[in-house]
Chains A and B, each alone.
Chain A
């Protein structure tokens, strides 16, 4: 028996040591977990940039970018009537000091409009040193988290360098890291000591078995609860509420300008159309996903109403960028690693002339369809794809963006 126990313990120790040796930092936080049609047809991020990726504790860093709220919003996802622009972090290793939508500061959740275009900026401040994978993202009420592109940020320095001072309306400067902590601990200790005294008052005498016997014997109530006990209980019954009310009144007079928690929804209108702005129209006629080739083939009709020839340069969906290799110089995308630099090929690469309407096939091909779990679309209840198609003016390099969408037909062979 003893040997069996030793063998079991040794085996368990061996298994645990294997786990211990393989401890590694988690490299993801569920950015691929959301169903692909939600990632592709809700918030369509582009031009997301960080102003730096290495900085010190207490130093500010900002992320800015744009997003289009897809017109073809999935029917199974509640409309974005409350959305919260957030940052994915492993706890508050950074703090958020400012946040802007279309240039306006906003502190609460916001209602977004499908078809709307927005730009954003979030200012953060380093709090805890380390290397973290960070995304801007939207919490969509009743839908989930739609991630923007992620980057690695490195925060250097010492945690003790961090300070977060804020000025209240009364003009008092407070340290958010310690504000109210001493006061809170004091009151917990105060009531804790009073409670401990009450408990010890009873615990000092014989408890369960003797008291149970006395109670069963009957007629010994005065020994179980003595006049002294009653006196203390009466004092407590009067004293505790009086003390609570007195201290409450003192606090009210100390903070006469205290207000309730704020709970409004910010209202910020979209920008004038940046995507589907009407200069170059793109209509998707068909979309086929070729599983063995990991390629999405779109048949699109492009109507160039601009004054110059345009060329298709990029297709972007769920933070994956498929680039036309002949037009990479025009790429203005974000600094994400999820870019297929030769991922987009055109059936007819010749520029689309002003006034021309061309029906053509474009193919977005890369392993990203699989590694980003976007190919799961073909097994979804809603198998429509969405994304942004970027077209560039051949003369002025101006950019036209179209939000395209289509049902996807899988091709298994």
Chain B
């Protein structure tokens, strides 16, 4: 067993051993990448689903609430393993990057080439800014509590402003059919989705009206609070499911 080695007697691997451990790094990285592309993408599609699929679902109430809340899950679990076992502060960025790779592949091949939707109608949102901040906070604080509170909240609060540069232009109004629509709404009307009638959209439902028309910041703060809890929960899920017993045998 190589655990509990005294740092006085610690000798880094050199030569063939170093080469093999590096090959092992690459093997794990490639496997992890495919694992996260598949599993996180599936998890995200099943939980966030239409809010991320369609431009006319990206509203100011539910989209900023549900997307970070479901998006912080895998990053928290992977961070807990990569930080506590390896001091690698890149779990969140790795997960979100893998998610985006999977999402872009799906949007191009399944939505565009297979189902003919224009790609701009199915542009994915990005959570990379929040993931970078989450990794930085974990590294600098080395604390679950601080990362959950500050990192989880930042992950949620940064989501809407980091995506507004992508999607703000789809909220420009258009006069259409004696009414006012956003460009995004017009996508939903014009580009026919047989199984996706307008009434299915879960947008603008609820009573976040107390503070006038500022629904997005309220949704973001609500999401921030929930992300703190979700981060902690998934940190422990990552901890429970991870094992280093095979490393201990090396």
Binding site for B on A (CB under 8 A): 29, 82-84, 86-89, 91-99, 104-109, 127-128, 139, 141, 145, 164, 166-170, 172, 174, 176-181, 183-184, 187-188, 191-192, 194-196, 198-199, 202-203, 206-221, 224-225, 229-230, 233-234, 236-237, 240-241, 243-245, 247-248, 250-252, 254-255, 257-263, 265
Contacts and interface: CB of A to CB of B under 8 A. Distances in A.
Contact of A260 (B164, B215, B250): B215
B174 A169 contact: yes
Given A95-B190, A107-B176, A221 B87 contact: yes
Contacts of B176: 107, 166
Nearest to A244: B162
Given A233-B89, A255-B168, A199 B94 contact: yes
Contacts of B177: 98-99, 105-107
13 contacts: A92-B193, A107-B189, A180-B166, A188-B100, A195-B93, A202-B88, A206-B25, A210-B18, A212-B86, A212-B244, A213-B10, A257-B173, A260-B204
Nearest to B137: A237
Contact of B165 (A97, A207, A251, A259): A251
Interface stretch (B35-43, B65-73, B110-118): B110-118
Contact of A109 (B94, B158, B198, B215): B198
Contacts of B77: none
Nearest to B10: A217
Contacts of A195: 93, 96-97, 128, 131-132
Contacts of B200: 139
A190 B96 CA distance: 14
A106 B176 CA distance: 9
B191 interface: yes
Given A180-B170, A183-B166, A262-B185, A96 B190 contact: yes
Given A213-B10, A263-B201, A258 B171 contact: yes
B185 A107 contact: yes
Given A109-B197, A251-B168, A234 B136 contact: yes
Given A168-B172, A244-B161, A259 B180 contact: yes
A196 B97 contact: yes
Interface of B: 2-7, 10, 12-13, 18, 21-22, 24-25, 28-29, 56-60, 85-90, 93-94, 96-97, 100, 104, 114-120, 123-124, 126, 128-129, 131-133, 135-137, 139-140, 154, 158, 161-162, 164-187, 189-195, 197-201, 203-205, 215, 244, 247, 250
A241 B133 contact: yes
B97 A215 contact: no
Nearest to A264: B179
B180 A86 contact: no
A128 B182 CA distance: 25
Given A233-B140, A254-B168, A192 B128 contact: yes
Nearest to A215: B87
A262 B172 contact: no
A168 B174 CA distance: 4
A92 B136 contact: no
A210 B87 CA distance: 11
Given A180-B167, A195-B97, A251-B168, 5 more contacts: A198-B90, A202-B90, A217-B6, A241-B133, A260-B182
Main secondary structure of the interface of A (DSSP, over half): mixed
Best-buried of B7, B12, B165 by chain A (most CB within 10 Å): B165
Nearest to A179: B120
Given A195-B132, A230-B140, A220 B194 contact: no
Contacts of B185: 107, 261-262
B25 A262 contact: no
Given A95-B190, A215-B87, A262-B180, A188 B126 contact: yes
Contacts of B180: 169, 259, 262
B207 to A, nearest CB: 14
Best-buried of B86, B123, B190, B201 by chain A (most CB within 10 Å): B190
A147 to B, nearest CB: 11
